[in-house]
Amino acid sequence: MSTLVALDLFSIVPLLFTISLAKRHILENKKNKYYIAAAFMTIAILTLEISANLIVHSSDPQLIIIHKIVNILGFAFSPIVPYLFLLFIGTSSPIYGQLKLWVLPLYLNALLCVLSYWMGIVFSIDAFNHYERGSLFFVPTLISLLYFILVIYEILINRAKIARPDKRILILIFSLPIFSFVVQIAYPNLLLIWPSVSLSLLLYYIYSLEMQYDFDIQTQIKNRTAFDKEMARHDGRNSVTLFVFDLNNLKNVNDSYGHIEGDILIKSSASLLNDCFSKIGEVFRIGGDEFCAICDPLTDENAENTLLVLKHLTDDFNNKVTNKLHLAQGYAHYDHHSPETIYEALSRGDDDMYEHKAYSKATFDRRTSND
């Protein structure tokens, strides 16, 4: 057994393991179906690579057709894996436009691979079963590289879901196949691409399992654990603006309409806050009905404008529902050059929020008494 066959077989084993784990969580994250599909596709490509490696050493002319079909499938499948990665990571950037357009390179690549059966443009296999690269051999590789670069670009711009330290980890994970592509182009005999893709899939799944501890299952935003990590990361190092929120009248809604309605308000609060702050910071659920947003440094004017945007979003939401959503709000600026800690700044933001909460309650009581 050649070293390549042994490496490919070894790469299949962890993929089967991660597929079995990913299937357990597919109900919690529907995008796991793309991860599972990418893993299955990688196993298929590794199997085809093993088959091609075994066939190429045979001089049996009857295997020529099989050898060609194996290569057609292998080259046609190759860019599908990074495309599935792209679907799994998400495509929130406006640069992508319509996702359907990004599938066109896959069709082009498949057509070139099929034509290679007769024309040898991507690969050729002669009457003696000898394999050679064609003039367009680079096309499947370039398309795959394109998708991996788009994956990295998506990670870089996705501020709402991915913190900066995590971005560095993800970029390293998804840069591994790109590095292998470059090495294989320079050294054709070092077939490292698909073992490296297999490793990237495994590393990403390990990363995603670790990330689950930082997310609140109910609201799908980051939780108190992630908030504490982020606060510690900024303390004494980075200036930020902290926004603090508390959902008003949640107990009354739970008592009058049931906890299901209360849960709807909590989820809706998280969604509205995420919509409002996704471009300037990150939102956390730090308690039952308490939220905090950590943002890049803002002026008072920008902070007030952000809260005004949130008010408009909240008003639009309240116009469509029976149980209205009301958030008490406050904010504070933290300057890492000052002697104040970030936690003291958070306490000031908390005080500001409670002042707003008391004012809102007094206003509501006056309106109720007038009615």
Residues 247 and 266: their CA atoms lie apart, in Å, by 8
Domains of the chain: total: 2
**Does residue 218 lie within any of the structural domains?**
no
Within the chain, residue ranges assigned H as helices are: 3-24, 32-55, 64-77, 80-89, 104-119, 138-157, 164-186, 193-212, 224-234, 250-257, 259-277, 300-318, 342-370
Residue 301 lies in a domain: yes
Residue 133 and residue 251 in one domain: no
Residues 71 and 180 in one domain: yes
217 in any annotated domain = no
| 332: pLDDT strictly greater than 80 | yes
How far is it, in rounded angstroms, from Cα 312 to Cα 41?
A: 45
Neighbouring residues of 146: CB distance < 8 A, sequence distance ≥ 6: 79, 105
Q: What's the pLDDT band for 231 if we cut at 50, 70, 90?
A: very high
Same domain, 32 and 101: yes
Mean pLDDT for 307-333 is 94
Note the pLDDT tens digit of each residue in 351-368: 999 999 888 776 655 554
Band the pLDDT of 97: cuts 50, 70, 90. low
Average pLDDT over residues 162-174: 73
Report, as an integer, the average pLDDT of 99-106: 81
Choose one of 212, 234, 253: the last residue of a domain: 212
* 241/151 same-domain check: no
Q: How sure is the predictor about 5, in pLDDT bands with cuts at 50, 70 and 90?
A: confident
In terms of domains, do 51 and 174 share one?
yes
Which of 160, 184, 212 lies at the terminal end of a domain, its last residue? 212
Burial class (CB in 10 A: 0-12, 13-18, 19+), 150: buried
Model pLDDT, residue 368: 46
**Dist CA 199 CA 176 (whole Å):** 8
* pLDDT > 60? residue 1: no
CATH number of the domain where residue 146 is located: 1.20.1070
Q: Identify any residues that bridge with 247 across adjacent strands, giving them in sequence order.
A: 327
Mean pLDDT of the chain: 84
Q: Is 2 exposed, middle or buried (0-12, 13-18, 19+ CB in 10 A)?
A: exposed
Distance CA 43, CA 8 (A): 9
Mean pLDDT for the stretch of residues 276-288: 91
27-31, 35-39, 163-167, 290-294 — most confident range: 290-294
Q: Let me know if residue 208 belongs to a domain.
A: yes
Residue 55: band (very low, low, confident or very high) from pLDDT cuts 50, 70, 90: confident
pLDDT tens digits, 113-143: 999 999 999 999 988 888 898 999 989 988 9
Residue 348: pLDDT band (50, 70, 90) is: very high
Residue-range definition of the domain harbouring residue 352: 224-370
For tokens 């050294």, name the residue: 187
Residues 200 and 250 in one domain: no
pLDDT over 80 (residue 29): no
Check whether 267 has a pLDDT greater than 90: yes
Same domain, 281 and 142: no
Who contacts 301 (Cβ-Cβ below 8 Å, separation ≥6)? none
Same domain, 243 and 318: yes
CA 61 to the chain's CA centroid: 47
136 part of a folded domain: yes
Q: Is residue 234 part of a domain?
A: yes
Q: Confidence band (pLDDT; 50, 70, 90) for 159?
A: very low
Choose between 29 and 7: higher pLDDT.
7
User: Which carries the bigger pLDDT value, residue 152 or residue 232?
Assistant: 232
Note the pLDDT of residue 336.
Answer: 94
Same domain, 161 and 246: no
Q: What is the mean pLDDT of residues 283-312?
A: 95
Asked if 352 and 250 touch (Cβ cutoff 8 Å), the reply is no
CATH of the domain at 256: 3.30.70.270
Is the same domain home to 158 and 23?
yes
Q: Look at residue 75 and tell me whether its pLDDT is greater than 90.
A: yes
Are residues 321 and 178 part of one domain?
Answer: no
Cβ atoms within 10 A of the Cβ of 239, count? 15
CA angle 275, 278, 279 (to 5 degrees): 120
Domain limit, last residue, from 187, 212, 237? 212
Q: Are strands 240-247 and 290-295 parallel, antiparallel or unpaired?
A: antiparallel
Specify the DSSP class assigned to residue 215: B
Report if residue 302 sits inside a domain.
yes
161 pLDDT higher than 70: no
Is 219 a member of any domain? no
What would you report as the CA-atom Rg of the chain, rounded to the nearest whole angstrom?
27
**Phi, psi of 120, deg, nearest 5:** 65, 35
Question: What's the average model confidence in pLDDT over 339-353?
Answer: 96
pLDDT of 369 higher than 90: no
Are residues 164 and 275 located together in one domain of the fold? Answer: no
